[in-house]
Structure formats: C-alpha cells, structure tokens
Amino acid sequence: MTTLLAVEALTKRFGGLVAVNKVDFEISSGSITAIIGPNGAGKTTLFNLIGGSIRPDEGKVTLEGRDITGWKPFSVARGGITRTFQTTALFEELPVWVNLVIGHRMRTRSGLFDALLYTPRARREKKETTREVMEVLGFTGLAEYADMPAGTLPQEAQKRLAIAVALIGKPKLVLLDEPTGGVGLEETDGIITLIDKIRASGVTVCVIEHKMRMIMNLADYIIALNFGIKIADGDPQSVCQDPSVIEAYLGECIA
Amino acid sequence: MKKYGKWAFYLLLIVIVALIPLYLNRSKSGKYTIQVLTMAMIWAIATLSLNLILGYTGQASLAHGAFLGIGAYAFGIFVERVGINIWPALILASLITAFLGMLVGLPSLRTKGPYFAIVTLCFNVIVFKVFENWTWLSGGLRGQKVTMPSYLEARWARYYVVLGFLILAILIERQIVKSLLGSSFIAIRSNENLSEAVGINSFRTKLLSFTVSCFMVGLAGGLFAMEKGSLDYTITNYMYSFYLLIYLLIGGAATLAGPVVGTVGLYFLLDKIKGIGEWRYFIFGLILIVVIIYFPRGIVGGAKQFWEWAKKKYYRTGEVLE
Amino acid sequence: MSFFLNQMVIGIQLGSQYVLVALGLTLIFGILDISHFAHGHMYMIGAYLLYIVMVLGGVNYWLALVICMAALSIAGVVVERAVYRPLRGQPHINSFIAAIGLILVLETLVRGIQPDALRVPKPIDKNFSFLGINMEVQRLIVIVGAIVFIILLQVFIKRTRLGTAIEAMSQDREGAALVGINVNRMSALTFAIATALAAVAAVFMAPLAFVSPEMGSVLVLKAFVIVVIGGLGSMKGAILGGYLLGILEALAIAYISSAYKDVFAFGVLIIILAIWPTGIFGGRD
C-alpha cells in the first residue's frame, strides 16, 4: 500500500496550551483510518490543521509527496482532501441538490463569461454537474430529499448530506469529523455502510469517532490521541490493548 | 408549455412597460411621470447591482452610493471635458467604476460581515469628502454639466434607453445567478467556511461579484448623469447607499424581481408624497423597521413564500381527495 | 510647545466622547451581536433632551445630566424591546437594516419638529490656564467626567453580580445562557447602560458644539471605527482606540488640514483592516 497522506511532527499551540503536539502518522491509500481520543485530545484541531483552516506552528503535511502545509482550505480541497465538520455544516437554506452542485463546483471551471454567454463549456459542465449530482444522490441514498432545504432534513440525513457534499468533489482523501455524532444507534449502521461503500469506491477515509465498537469493526488503522500527543497507533487490536489507551479511555475499549 | 407561458408573461410585461410613455406623453403631468419612472428604473439598476453582492453573495456593501457617484462623474467628465460620444463613455464609466470597485474590494473583502459593511461605509464617507473638497473634480456645488445629444432630449427617448439597460441588467444578473458561478456566490452567502472547505476560493469569488456589481452600479451612475443633465458632489452621499439597501430589502433580496419592484414602487411612492417633505423619510424608516421584522424576505420574497405555501396546501388537499 | 499641549488636550477631550460612545457600541456588539448603528442618533436625542430640560425647563446642568441619563436608558430599553429583540436569531444584516430605519425615523422626527441647530449654554462659562494650556472649563469637564464614568463602568462590570454576568455574556453568549443568565434581562440592561453612556457624552459635549439632527451620524461611524480597530466587544480596545483617535484627529486638524479630518479616521481604518481583517486586538470573527 502506498502512502497517501503523511503528517510529520505537526504542532499547534493556543496560548500556553499545546493542542497538537508533534504528531506523526501516515495514511495509506484505500484505507480507513480512525482517530480516537477523549474530548479535548486535539482531534478536531488535527483535522483543521490538515484541512488548512488553521496553520500549524511546526511540522509538515504532505499529500502524495506534495507539501501542502499551510495551504488555504480551498487549495487543500482542490488538492484532493475534503472534509465534514463536527457540527454538521451545510448550506442550510439551500435545497439538497444545490448543496451538491456547490460541492461539485471545484471540478468545473466555467466563470463569468461562460455564465453571461452560456458557452459550450458552461453547457457541458452543467450537464456534467447534473449527472454527478444524480449519481451521488443515489450513492448516499438522498434522492428522496433532493428538493428539500438541507437544514430541514432529519439529523442522520444531514450527516449523510455533509458526506455527500465532501464526496462529490472527487477527493482522494475525505476527513469525517464524527459522522455518527448525535445520530441514533440504528441509523449509525447506515452511515457505517456508507463509509464502507466510500472506501470500496476508491476514496481513502479518515474518521474521528467516539463509538469504539463501531471503530473496531470499521477501521484498518487507529491513531489514539490524548492531550495533543499521539499515545498509540496501529491496527485496532493492538491499539485497543495498549495500556495508555486503556488508561485514557478508563477501560472503555471493548473489542 | 409552462415555460412558454412564463416567457409570454415577461414579453407582455415588457410590451406594457414600453407602451406607458405613449399614454403619458400626452399631458404635462404625464411627461413628468415619465421622468420619475425613468429615474426609478435607473435606481432599480443600482439596486440590482447591490442585489448581486448582498442578496446573492451575502456581502453588505455600503459603498454603492459612492460608486454610483463615481460612475456618474466618470460619465459626465468623459462626455463634457474629454468629449467622447456618450455610448463609449457609458461603457468606459462602468469599466472605471468596476476597476475602482476591484481596488476597494482587494483590502475590504478580506473582512467579513459587519466589518465589511463598516469598511465600505467608511470608504463612502471618504469619497464624499473628497468630492466635496476637490472642486476641480466635482465642480463643487455648482456641479458638472452633462450635455446630451439632441436625440436624447425628449423624456420618452431616455425612458426607452433606460428601459433597455434595465432589461439588460436583469438578464445579466439572471445569467450569472443561474450559472455555476452563481452557485459559488450563493454558497459564500450561505456558509463561507464550508464553501472554502469544498474548494471555492471565497476571496476571489467575492471580488468577482463585487467587481461585476460595481460595473452595474457604474452603469446606473452614467445613466443617472444622462438623465439629470448635471451633477454635484452630493450624489456620492452615503445616504444613497442606505436607500439602495432599503429598496433591496423591501423589494426582496436574492430575487430578480424584488429589486425592481422595491425600487420602482418605493421611488414612485416617495415622489407621490413629496408634499410632506422630510416626513416621508420618517414613514420610510418606519416601513423599513416593520418590513425587516415581519417580512424579512421583502415583498417579492414574501409573495413567493406565500405562493409555495398555497401550492403545497392545494396539493395536500388534492392528495386527500384522491 | 503650548500649541502642541493645547492640541493634545483637545485630542483627549475629543477622545473622551469617542470612548463614551464606543464603549456603549462595543458592549452592545459584544453581548448582543448587534451593529447598533442608531447609537449616534440616541446620542443626538440626548443632546436635545438636555436642551429641553436645561434651557426650556431651567433645570441645573448636573441634575439635567442625571435626568438625561435616566430618560435615555429607558429609551434604549424601548429600542431594544421594539426593534432588536424581534430580530434576535436572524441574520446580522437584518438588525443592521433596522438600525438604519431607526436612524431615518429619529433624524427626520427631530428635524421635522425643530429644523434649526440649537445652542446649549456652558454650565461654567470660563477659561482656565495651566502650563500654557488655555481653554474652556467645559473641555476639562468632558475629560474628567469621561474618566469618572469609565471607572464607574469598570467597577460595575468587575464588582457587581449583574456586571460580571454581562462580562460573562460578552465572552461566551451560549455559555451564559446555559448557566442560567437571563438573556432578555441582560440585553435590556446592556442597552440601558450603553444609551446612558451616550447621554453622558451628549450632555458633556452639547455646550461645546451645535445641537443638530445629524450631529450623531459621523460620530457613530467614528465610534464604529474605534470598536472595529479595538476588536468588536473589547472594552479595553474601545477605551484605548477612542483616546488614540481623538488625539490623532486633533493633531491632524492642527498640522494637516481640517477639511480631511474625517477622511483621516476612516482611511486609517481601511488600512488597518486590510492588514488585520478582524481588528488589531483580535476580537470575534
């Protein structure tokens, strides 16, 4: 397996607090990697650092060997990493399908003159976008909601839509921040199936998750954080038996 | 079939609006009304421009009064002092306004929300003070004369010119907001952080929207100078930025009909109650507060909402009947 | 040298009114997330109220100060209740537009009743001389009075239960609601305090200038400049920024040109925001 994303000695301080402290890891192509850790362990900060919404103080992030440290979020997205947010971020007042059109925007190039003159490129890209939107609606099972404003969807469908918006841009790697947070137990299964499908379609997944049972079955590789420091990493079995992980989780880890 | 009906409706509307001067031109008060309507349509173009950056892109520019003035003066100076034909002068004036808009946007669009509103308002005050003090540029209170060619002397002639540009402005805005580029604009209004996370360069997109918006308001400025025949520095007053905001919000932001309905309606109304002088702005202010509290989507937005609601209600009853 | 000192004192005095107005704005912004653009017009109402109470009613200046503060804090609560509270939770731009509506209403109302600018006599119509500084006693009243009220505000915020609740809310609105701070009461209180501060500024400044319907419009813009530079919601920033702008402006008037004194303040803001898009002292995004 080849390395898709490499994080080296990544560090971020907020005032006196070191939110992420010299974290190293690699994500290999086609895998599902999970980042676990108690609240305030620096998981979301880590995503923000990779995604470019905050700049690291030290360290390096490379995607397929290309240094993307300190890139702006939109460049990171165009470079091949899209993400979802912990507090499900959507274009709430816009219909589901428009959310997806926006997500697909980075695959299209038409600008002002294409819009004004309705050039062949504008026409082609509009068709292409429509096709992609239909496909992703089917893939994520959101077709029935297509015309509803995103904010009016049930919680679980909103989570799936956030994933769909991230996917339609055809990333190499998708970062999912608690994709099952605030979702009922039965509905969690649907999202797990979706994540499996995403991997099967060739997109590498990195996921922040609290539900240990879910992670054990889903992930190929686990990275455990505590107080901004990587305390363990490896396959689910070995991370689960790691004493520092058990300590951090108060023995919550049951496989 | 439904689509043809819509276009037929628009065509009918244009024909009616085009016929209005024929009726009004017969009396003296009618001729005056033509002038009022022409001016209302010019303001409507300006409101449409604000709609692009505020209604669709979500950035509350309070500098559009200044840009209107800049467009008007650029046009006036090109025609009067440089001696260019009015049509290329109109395009040049719009281009200059767009260019200045881009220059202003470069620093100011880095800020967000209320910061942007305040920065642009400050810019407007600066422009106003500059025009007030630089009499070599603005002509001070004496102003800048703008001579029109003889074929534009009749009021109805200018009415048709402005009507043409209004239709053009609506079409341009429609083309943009229905396009993929338009979806980027709307994305930024809805959630700027998420837009960035899905690969939209929000700064560049906002700058484009602002520049196009300034082009349109520059055009409105040029037409304003054409209609008025003379300019003074008060045209750059920031109160005009407020008025544009009011026209837009009462009409309905982020709709295509809203800016036109709001502007023409309110401008016409304000002219009708001219007799009460300053007090009409008292009423104006009260209406604004009531509208923003109870009808935040404006006249057209509210009507659309009502239409959707009625349609749903109708369909639901239909389902029950089946 | 004495010319320079004179200008400095004038600057501090200008700054005093900016601080009083900007403090109210920054409180309202920090706690309620409202760009209360009509704040300058509340200030204007305060000046007219002083005219009514003192000139027409014949009340003593200091008693008039208390009356104006009380009346204006009630007016502030009314504005909050009638205009801003129904807009809570809606996009930021909506309350901003309501504020513009309020500006139109207040300004045309006053102009409709009394179109001419008015004058308010100085309570102590004397000059004083000190270290080559020679100016009206009223300027001294503005400077000292502003300091007194700034200290009073700080004491209130730091030492009383209500004050600490306000501060907590300005730092974390949702958190404050969670620990059971009554949001409605707090926003009414904030408006009362902010508008009373505007009344203080108006009562102090009115004897030094004309009282006119548009006296508040440029002032509020400058206060916003200060609030933005100082960081939205930061009281320290508002105090520092207010005095700084006052001094810079007085020096600019003395040494550059008075025609461009407003251009100066707003130009500085644009440059600063171009470098630090959320103000020098950070503040909320």
Whether B119 has its CB under 8 Å from any CB of chain C: the answer is: yes
User: What does the pLDDT average to over C120-131?
Assistant: 77
Tell me, what's the pLDDT at C282? 55
| Nearest chain C CA: its distance from B127 CA (Å) | 8
Q: Which of B195, B197, B201 sits opposite A82 (nearest CB)?
A: B197
pLDDT value at C76 more than 90: yes
Which residue of chain A has the CA closest to B173? A116
Whether C and B touch (3+ CB pairs < 8 Å), yes or no: yes
User: What does the pLDDT average to over A87-115?
Assistant: 93
Contact B186 A165 (CB under 8 A): no
In chain C, the N- to C-terminal Cα span, in Å, equals: 43
Task: Please give the structure tokens belonging to residue A139.
Answer: 């893939």
Contact B125 C266 (CB under 8 A): yes
Contact C83 B293 (CB under 8 A): yes
Which of the listed ranges B42-46, C187-191, C231-235 does the model predict with the highest average pLDDT?
B42-46
Tell me, what's the pLDDT at B319? 45
Contacts of B126 in chain C (CB under 8 A): 262-263, 266-267, 270
Contact B110 C277 (CB under 8 A): yes
| Nearest alpha carbon to residue B128 among B239, B244, B225, B238 | B238
Whether B60 has its CB under 8 Å from any CB of chain C: the answer is: yes
Q: Which of C87, C104, C221 sits opposite B292 (nearest CB)?
A: C87
> Could you tell me the pLDDT band of residue B314, with boundaries at 50, 70 and 90?
low
> Could you tell me the pLDDT band of residue C273, with boundaries at 50, 70 and 90?
confident
Tell me, what's the pLDDT at C194? 94
Contact B199 A90 (CB under 8 A): no
Tell me, what's the pLDDT at B63? 95
The percent of residues above 90 in pLDDT, for chain C, comes to: 30
| Nearest alpha carbon to residue B73 among B147, B138, B158 | B138
Please name the residue that has the structure tokens 């006249």: B299
Quote ipTM for the complex.
0.92
Contact B175 A116 (CB under 8 A): yes
Q: Which of A51, A85, A118 sits opposite B175 (nearest CB)?
A: A118
In angstroms and rounded to an integer, the radius of gyration of the C-alpha atoms of chain C is 18
Q: What is the pLDDT of residues C153-198, one digit of tens each?
A: 989 988 888 888 887 777 776 677 767 778 888 889 999 999 999 9
CA dist., res. A141 & res. B82, Å (int): 64
For testing the chain A interface, which of B170, B178, B180 should be mutated: the one with the most A CBs within 10 Å? B180
B/C interface, count of CB pairs below 8 Å: 125
Tell me, what's the pLDDT at B322? 34
Type of residue at B194: L
Contact C263 B242 (CB under 8 A): no
Question: What residue segments make up the domains of chain A, in order of their start?
Answer: 1-80+172-255, 90-170
Whether B63 has its CB under 8 Å from any CB of chain C: the answer is: no
Question: Per CB distance under 8 Å, which residues of A are interface residues toward B?
Answer: 51, 53, 72-74, 77-78, 82-83, 85, 89-94, 98, 101-103, 105-106, 108, 110-112, 114-116, 118, 122, 125-126, 129, 165-166, 169
Contact B286 C101 (CB under 8 A): yes
User: What does the pLDDT average to over A96-124?
Assistant: 93
Q: Which of B122, B130, B284 sits opposite C270 (nearest CB)?
A: B122
For testing the chain A interface, which of B174, B185, B188, B198 should be mutated: the one with the most A CBs within 10 Å? B198
For testing the chain B interface, which of A82, A91, A98 should be mutated: the one with the most B CBs within 10 Å? A91
Output DSSP code: residue A146. Answer: T
Contact B208 A111 (CB under 8 A): yes
Tell me, what's the pLDDT at B1? 55
| Nearest alpha carbon to residue B199 among A106, C25, C37, C11 | A106
> How open is the CA angle B141-B143-B145, to the nearest 5 degrees?
160
Q: Which of B114, B126, B286 sits opposite C263 (nearest CB)?
A: B126
Concatenating the DSSP letter of every residue in B91-120 gives HHHHHHHHHHHHHHHHHHTTS-HHHHHHHH
pLDDT value at C246 more than 70: yes
A/B interface, count of CB pairs below 8 Å: 100
pLDDT value at B316 more than 80: no
In chain A, the N- to C-terminal Cα span, in Å, equals: 26
Whether C and A touch (3+ CB pairs < 8 Å), yes or no: no
Bridge partners of residue B145, in order along the sequence: B230
Max alpha carbon distance in chain C (Å)?
A: 57
Contact B200 A102 (CB under 8 A): yes
Task: Please give the structure tokens belonging to residue A140.
Answer: 């994520």
The percent of residues above 70 in pLDDT, for chain A, comes to: 97
Under 8 Å CB-to-CB from A24, ≥6 apart: which residues? Answer: A7, A8, A9, A10, A230
CA dist., res. C104 & res. C218, Å (int): 14
Q: Which of C104, C224, C285 sits opposite B118 (nearest CB)?
A: C224
Question: Per CB distance under 8 Å, which residues of C are interface residues toward B?
Answer: 29, 35, 83, 86-87, 90, 92-94, 96-98, 100-105, 107-109, 111-112, 218, 221, 224-225, 228, 232, 259-260, 262-263, 266-267, 269-271, 273-274, 277-279, 285
Type of residue at B235: I
**Comparing A168-177, A208-217, B285-294, C47-56, which segment has the lowest mean pLDDT?**
A208-217
User: What does the pLDDT average to over C192-214?
Assistant: 91
Whether A and B touch (3+ CB pairs < 8 Å), yes or no: yes
User: What does the pLDDT average to over B138-142?
Assistant: 80
Q: What is the pLDDT of residues B45-100, one digit of tens each?
A: 999 999 999 999 999 999 999 999 999 999 999 999 998 999 999 999 999 999 99
Output DSSP code: residue A234. Answer: E
Contacts of B187 in chain A (CB under 8 A): 91, 102, 105
Q: Which of C94, C105, C224 sits opposite B286 (nearest CB)?
A: C105
Cβ atoms of residues C13 and C205 within 8 Å = no
Contact B212 A112 (CB under 8 A): yes
For testing the chain B interface, which of C266, C268, C284 should be mutated: the one with the most B CBs within 10 Å? C266
Tell me, what's the pLDDT at B318? 44
Q: Which of A90, A115, A125 sits opposite B182 (nearest CB)?
A: A115
Q: What is the pLDDT of residues A3-28, one digit of tens each?
A: 999 999 999 998 888 899 999 999 99
Q: What is the pLDDT of residues B202-249, one digit of tens each?
A: 999 999 999 999 999 999 999 999 999 889 898 999 889 989 998 998
Select the more confidently predicted residue: C21 or A187.
C21
Under 8 Å CB-to-CB from C84, ≥6 apart: which residues? Answer: C32, C34, C36, C95, C98, C187, C191
| Nearest chain A CA: its distance from B160 CA (Å) | 23
Average pLDDT over chain C reads 85
Cβ atoms of residues C200 and C62 within 8 Å = no
Contacts of B199 in chain A (CB under 8 A): 74, 77-78, 82, 105-106, 169
Contacts of B106 in chain C (CB under 8 A): 274
User: What does the pLDDT average to over A153-179?
Assistant: 94
- Dihedral sign (CA B178, B184, B185, B187): positive
Q: Which of A83, A114, A126 sits opposite B197 (nearest CB)?
A: A83
> How open is the CA angle C53-C215-B65, to the nearest 5 degrees?
150
| CA trace torsion B173, B178, B179, B182 (10° rounding) | 70
CA dist., res. A241 & res. B203, Å (int): 48
Max alpha carbon distance in chain A (Å)?
A: 65
Task: Please name the fold of domain B29-321.
Answer: ABC transporter involved in vitamin B12 uptake, BtuC (1.10.3470)
Average pLDDT over chain B reads 90
For testing the chain B interface, which of C39, C95, C100 should be mutated: the one with the most B CBs within 10 Å? C100
Under 8 Å CB-to-CB from A175, ≥6 apart: which residues? Answer: A47, A50, A51, A81, A82, A83, A84, A166, A206, A207, A208
Which of the listed ranges A60-74, B281-295, C125-139, C203-217 does the model predict with the highest average pLDDT?
A60-74
**SS3 call for A61:** strand
The answer to whether domain A1-80+172-255 has CATH 3.40.50.2000 is no
| Nearest chain A CA: its distance from B116 CA (Å) | 21
Tell me, what's the pLDDT at C285? 39
